[in-house]
Amino acid sequence: MDLLNSEAPLDSLVSGRQSAGSMLSSTPTPTGAESAPPQPPPPKVSAQHSRQSSVASSFSKYSASEIKAEMAAAAAAASSSAHVSTSVTGAVSTFVSQSAPTPAASASAASVVMTEDNPPAEIENKLLRSEISSLNQELSSLLKRNQSAQDASRRLEADLTKCRQQLKQAEEAVAAGQAREQQLSDLLHSRDAQIAEMSSAHEALRDQLELMRADSTRSAGFQQAAFDELNERLRQAEARLEQERAASASLQADLRRLRQDAEQQQAMSAQAGRALAEEQRRQRAQALELEAAQRRCQQAQAELRDYKEKAGRILQVKDKMIATLKKGNGSEGGNGGGGLPDAADAAVGSSVAELSAEVDALRQERELLREEAQRAKLAAEGLRCDVEDLEAQMQSESETFRKTMSGLEAQLESERLARLAAEEEAQAARREASQQRDLWLRDKSELSQRLAQAEAELDALRRQSAPQLLRSGAGTSVASGGQDGGELEARIRSLTESLIQKQTALESSNAEKASLRLMVEQLESRLSERTHHATSLAQESGLSSRSSQAPQSDYIRIHMQDPPYARHMKRAVNTLDKAGVKLGVFLRRYPMARMLFLAYIGLLHLWVLLVLLTYQPEMHQRGYNDALPQPPGAPALASAAGSSLASNSS
């Protein structure tokens, strides 16, 4: 727009010069009528002088668009009126002979020509300079806009770097959460080891109960101590169970905290995604600005080409005009035959010298303009290359980002479906665990009630049997005594068996509860892993090539669309496989533990072989039972039993 505004005065000047050219072309050329008798000299001299001044002024007022027309008109006038030059020469000679103008008058006429010729050239030079300055200003504004666009791109790169740093911090936080989760899993393994120790302790208790049942056939007095010890161990087991419950509650609290951390990380990833979208919008705005700058640069280049063409045409027309003037001067000199005075030759020579000087100046200015146009062209080419590079880079980045976003959306959708299925499975496992816990509590309460009833019955039997044994003597019937003793032994044996069965049921329910709890914890850990994996996939935006995927486990994966029985079977297989993999990893990681494990297995086999080869059954001699400690009332029972046997045998 600035160039168009700067060209308005030039158009007005061209229109003025066109009018001057039309006046020159409309000037009446001398015909054959001018060869009539000469008129008085003063009018001829004034007309000739005015014609020469008008010709000089018209030559000095030629425009860039009318030079060709003026040259054509001059050529036509020169070719069609040769006699006109003869008549003009005669008129000039007559005027010189009659008036004899002084050299001062010729010099004044030349000065008039010079003064009338110089101002249009200066105005044209000023216009050209103003146009060049406007072009320079527009080029400087384009350079400033390009610099501002580059600064904006640098700011965008800095913002992208900040986003990548935030994503890296989020990944570090997720890694810390995974480390915390690994610590919790190690703690769970230690709890599992403690539970295994408790199960071994329960096995030892079971063995001791078996021994107590065997010893209860020999003596009824040891039943009270056995029951007391059993109750004490049962209380210890309950205390340990309470401790395990507290530990499981703390683990659940840690799990809830980890879930909260995962939700926070998910919120941070969503915020990072919004920031990335904002940066993308900014990039699109910068791309639009770059396109507008490119269009303006192309428009400036087109205007510069037009200006160069106009300047070239102007210079060519002026060169042709100078050549025509030189030819006209040469033809006038040849036709006059040396009849012109020295003053006219000096005037024509001075005008030709001025025109040649002006032509040289215009040529120099043309060269300068050409160099500036070349530099502007090179700068425009550089700007266009930069814009093309930026467009290619933005296009590649947008394509990469689009592909990445499509892949991430697909992965996020699959992870969302898997997470929903895992949540459903976890809810089903929680319901099943709650049902099993309710059953276990009900069985435990029933077993405790039955144990209390058995203890009450045993105490009642002891209270009933003690007076009977004290009152019984030698006169009592052996049959009734033997019947009461057998009934007491049978009831004690039945109570012991029922106690052992209840203890076994309690242990089985504890084991089932532990397995259900492990299953629920495993499902929750899998759910947290899937949530973390989905969060990490949402955080991967281009940032960059920096993609962190969730670790794939080496054991068997559970398919979510399987029937329930196959799902439970796969869950058991997964648990066993995971335990085997962890044991193998532990033994592979620690060579000392591997050697100790192999040594333990070898020693265990050797000990079992030694026991099998050296075992001998016990052979008790007579009187062995007499050496054992007897409960109170046992000798009387033995004597009564012996007397009854003797009477029966007799």
Q: What is the mean pLDDT of the chain?
A: 68
Query: Where are the extended beta strands (E) located within 313-359?
Result: none
Neighbours of 306 (CB within 10 A): 12
- What's the pLDDT tens digit per position in 266-297? 777 777 778 778 877 887 887 787 788 778 77
- List the alpha helices (DSSP H) in 61-102: 67-80, 82-99
Kind plus residue range of the DSSP H or E element containing 297:
helix 222-336
Angstrom CA distances, 433 to 300, 327, 476, 591, stand at: 79, 118, 59, 39
Summarised one tens digit per residue, pLDDT across range 185-228 is 787 787 777 777 777 776 777 777 677 666 656 655 555 665 67
Alpha-carbon separation of residue 641 from 485, 487, 624 (angstroms): 10, 14, 18
Sign of CA dihedral 83, 84, 85, 87: positive
What percent of the chain has a predicted confidence (pLDDT) above 70?
Answer: 59
Burial class of 282 by CB neighbour count within 10 A (0 to 12, 13 to 18, 19+): middle
Q: Give the pLDDT confidence score for residue 605 in this predicted structure.
A: 95
pTM of the predicted protein model? 0.24
Structure tokens of 123? 């105005």
The distance of Cα 282 from the centroid of its chain, to the nearest Å, equals 16
- As a whole number, mean pLDDT of residues 353-369 equals 77
- Residue spans per domain, the chain: 1-100, 565-614
Query: What band does 238 get if pLDDT is binned at 50, 70 and 90?
Result: confident
Distances (CA, A) of 423 to 496, 520, 531, 560: 46, 11, 11, 11
Backbone dihedral angles phi then psi of residue 218, each to the nearest 5 degrees: -85, -40
φ/ψ of 637, rounded to 5, equals -65, -40
Region 519-529 average pLDDT: 74
Give, rounded to a whole angstrom, the gap between the first and last alpha carbons of the chain: 147
pLDDT tens-digit profile of 316-349? 887 787 788 777 766 655 554 444 445 555 665 6
Is the predicted pLDDT of residue 580 greater than 70, yes or no? yes
- The per-residue pLDDT for 327 is 79
Q: What residues have CB less than 8 Å from 154, skipping those under 6 apart?
A: none
Average the pLDDT over 581-610 and give the result. 91
Query: What pLDDT does 595 receive?
Result: 92
Query: Which residue's entry shows tokens 């209380």?
Result: 235
Q: Which two tokens stand for residue 63?
A: 């425009």
d(CA 262, CA 180): 12
